[in-house]
Structure 1
Amino acid sequence: MALQVQAEGGAAARRTAETGRPLAERLEPLLADAEPCGGYREILRAGPDRRRLARESVALLRQEPTSAARDGLAERFAQTSVDLLRGQNSDAAGPAARVDFAARPVEYRRVLVAVTRHGIVTAE
């Protein structure tokens, strides 16, 4: 049932993943550059240029949630997650999806990779 829910939600899930990909690509380098701001010890170890870059990256990172909220990304990500976990049309069997996921994570990853066309399936 839970795998069927993922397959049926495939087009919407794929669109949401494709929308999120540019956001992730923007955030990744900013997060790496902001690393020295992660703690007092890290900022002390960084040189002046690295600290300046970190402060600039943190400022840019603070702007991203506003931009994402304006584009409605948080709501889309949340809705897709809820749809995949509970099932279509509030199906009574939907809550079992979370338990089913815990029991069969490799199958879920395989379906998610197929739906989003991104990622690698690994056995646990």
Structure 2
Amino acid sequence: MKKSSGSQSKTENLNDDKRPKLQGTSQNTPQYTVEGFTDAELRRFVKSYVKFAVPLERLEFVARDAQLVDKSLADLKHLGELLHNSCASAIQEYEKQLKDNPPEDKGPGKPKGAFIKIGGVK
């Protein structure tokens, strides 16, 4: 059990000890949050964004497919640019990591690629 400091009470320490550790969450991966969008809306937007060629120029169609016609075009453009830029930077970091440390064959299956997290959505 942790020793209690002057700023924390014993009940806070007990709650910290009982709190489950989150597995699979990386502290190194930046997590972007988007105001005005729920996780379900973000999932639908990403799924629709991937379907369209040149999605940043066709945001009205992406919004209609994702059932986000009530959102402003400026918010959708901001979200699309955030998604595009964060994907591009994640791919660059992943390629740099592959050059520095080539992957080892650990068995069957495909190796994991680069990923990003926006809000609660990977």
Q: Mark yes or no: TM-score above 0.5.
A: no
| Bigger Cα Rg | 2
Greater share of helix: 1
- Relative contact order, higher structure (CA 8 A, sep 6+): 1
